[in-house]
Amino acid sequence: MEKKNYDIEMQKILKENLALGKVPTLLLHTCCAPCSSAVLLRLADYFKITVFYYNPNIEPEEEYEKRKEEQKRFLKEFKTKYPISFLDCDYDHEDFQKMSQGLEQEKEGGARCFKCYRLRLYKTVQKALEMHFDYFGTSLTVSPYKNAQKINEIGEELASQFGVSFLYSDFKKHDGYRESIRMSKEYHLYRQDYCGCHFSFLERLAKEEQKSNSLLN
């Protein structure tokens, strides 16, 4: 698919709605409080947002609960023009396990991750359709470890399949990721050191081991 600047695509959507005097509803999938912070800061004046927490990729379950509780705490503390709602979803970890079968050896950023983005966006668009949201979107593009091109391509495909508008984004533009680090400090947010699944946890351990071995040699 053609490479686009998805930040510019998002700006167009914001401007169009502003010109029409509209404040549309947005079902925003978020992966964790730190990533959501900079994203919500950027969007909160333009949408009536519901944060959708659907992350069956996160392991173990205690970690999933910890990230979710931190997301809820941040929403309570973060003051916005329009109130932000929170919509919880089932953990559904078996769905992630089934999806990742055969892709266990993929590196972070590879084919398993593309399916993981799709799994989460699929549930988001389904819910957005069911609850009549104007847009659906995700905070995932704020991370420099995620493939924003792929996320937007999946979002676009699901938007045409389900007939719900996708909010294009590349939230790491304009220092979005750095802003999420700053806000995490301001709100004392728990920042995990691996993406979420068991495979990313093992990858992080292997990198640490490599680093300490190279220091010893």
Interface pick for ligand SF4 out of 7, 95, 108, 156 (rule CB under 6 A): 108
Interface pick for ligand SF4 out of 116, 125, 159, 167 (rule CB under 6 A): 116
Q: Does 36 bind ligand SF4 (CB under 6 A)?
A: no
The residues, any chain, with a CB within 8 Å of residue 109's CB and separated by 6 or more, are 145, 146, 147
**CB atoms closer than 10 angstroms to residue 74:** 24
The count of residues interacting with ligand SF4 (CB under 6 A) is 10
Between 60 and 83, whose beta carbon lies closer to ligand SF4? 60
Between 92 and 134, whose beta carbon lies closer to ligand SF4? 92
- Residue 23 DSSP code: -
Between 87 and 103, whose beta carbon lies closer to ligand SF4? 103
Pairing label, strands 135-138, 85-88: unpaired
**Residue 142 and residue 29: Cα distance in Å, rounded?**
12
Stretch that binds ligand SF4, among 18-26, 72-80, 196-204, 206-214 (CB under 6 A): 196-204
**Residue 148 and residue 152: Cα distance in Å, rounded?**
6
Q: Does 57 bind ligand SF4 (CB under 6 A)?
A: yes
Exposure letters 53-64 (e unless 16+ CB within 10 A, then b): bbbbbbbeeeeb
Q: Does 30 bind ligand SF4 (CB under 6 A)?
A: no
- Considering only residues 79 through 98, tell me which ones interact with ligand SF4, judged by CB under 6 A: none
**Residue 188 and residue 162: Cα distance in Å, rounded?**
38
The single residue listed with the structure tokens 């930040």 is 7
Q: Does 199 bind ligand SF4 (CB under 6 A)?
A: yes
Q: Does 56 bind ligand SF4 (CB under 6 A)?
A: no
Between 40 and 113, whose beta carbon lies closer to ligand SF4? 113
Hey, what are 194's tokens?
């691996």
Stretch that binds ligand SF4, among 6-14, 82-90, 105-113, 169-177 (CB under 6 A): 105-113
Hey, what are 42's tokens?
């950027």
**Residue 31 and residue 143: Cα distance in Å, rounded?**
10
The beta strands (E) that lie in 78-215 are given as: 85-88, 135-138, 165-166
Between 31 and 38, whose beta carbon lies closer to ligand SF4? 31
Interface pick for ligand SF4 out of 28, 113, 142, 148 (rule CB under 6 A): 113
Q: By CB under 6 A, name the binding residues for ligand SF4.
A: 57, 108, 112-113, 116, 195-197, 199-200
